[in-house]
Amino acid sequence: MSSVLISEVGPRDGLQNCKAIMPTAEKKRWIAALAEAGVTEIEIGSFVSPKLLPQMADTGEILDFAVTIPGLTVAVLVPNLKGAERAIAGGAHKITLPMSVSETHSLRNIRRTHDQVIEEATAITELIGQTPEGKRPHFEGSLSTAFGCTLEGPVPDAVILRCAERLMAAGCDEVGLSDTTGYGDPASVKRLIRAVRAVVGAENLTGVHLHNTRGLGLANALAAYEEGITTFDGSLGGLGGCPTAPGASGNVVTEDMVFMFEAMGISTGIDLRKLMATREIVTTALPEEELYGFTPRAGLPLGYKGEPVRAAAAH
């Protein structure tokens, strides 16, 4: 059976867009429950200024907790070298540096031009090289707004490909494609994956981060899978968006994505019933936040065991 990795980004990308702040103790309960459900990679937060995103003020404490969970790959978003220093010191297994291919968005999101992001990436690479082996995190450069920007509109392919090349040259282990604003469609997803892989190599683009702004999240995930992508970000209940990209709404619902792949016979390693049960932690801690998802609302089909449900042959 083929398999994919579902990386849960709700504790970072989901919570950063919520008005209320989830208590630290409840974040820990949620992350532990996600791991218990079989989620093996979780982006637990970001090291950004608490003045800008108070929802992420406890990322250091959350990181200290998460790295004690056996078998869990703990990912952290870092906007700069300072954030990377804190993530590495805390034992993060994976760090992601966002590089918005829309320079307008980059300036608004992390206050860096493209050249400045590359300077940060180079400095982070040097820091990782100085870190003892066995404690070096995997370093991903995320190509944000890759399918379009609410501030600039479409971004030329030449700019996107140049950003990808520069991130790899600066020392990133891989690049990821992020549909920050939900502008992507299955055809554009396939086309851009092929284009980026042509310049960085297929082995250096294995993951995508998709939003469901216009209802195409699952269609885009399937298109990416058909192009050989094996890592997919999802957010429980579709929580999230981008505070610095007007109109960019929620992420792909993790529960729906897990159901889609499992129903197709593609293993995620996640117990969908346990995963859906973790929604209660979120709804209790954040009662004003709406959670989305067709699968949790409809329930699992009769006979569902995590394997494809096939209709009986007609006679």
Query: Could you list the active site residues?
Result: 242
Q: Is 271 left (phi over 0), alpha (psi -120 to 50) or beta?
A: beta
Q: Is 2 left (phi over 0), alpha (psi -120 to 50) or beta?
A: beta
SS3 content of the chain, % helix, strand, coil (to 5): 45, 15, 40
- Residues 129 and 15: their CA atoms lie apart, in Å, by 32
Q: Is 34 left (phi over 0), alpha (psi -120 to 50) or beta?
A: alpha
| Residue 138 parent element (H or E) | strand 138-144
What tokens were used for 100? 């918005």
DSSP assignments along 61-112, one per residue: HHHHHHTTSTTPEEEEE-SSHHHHHHHHHTT-SEEEEEEESSHHHHHHHHS-
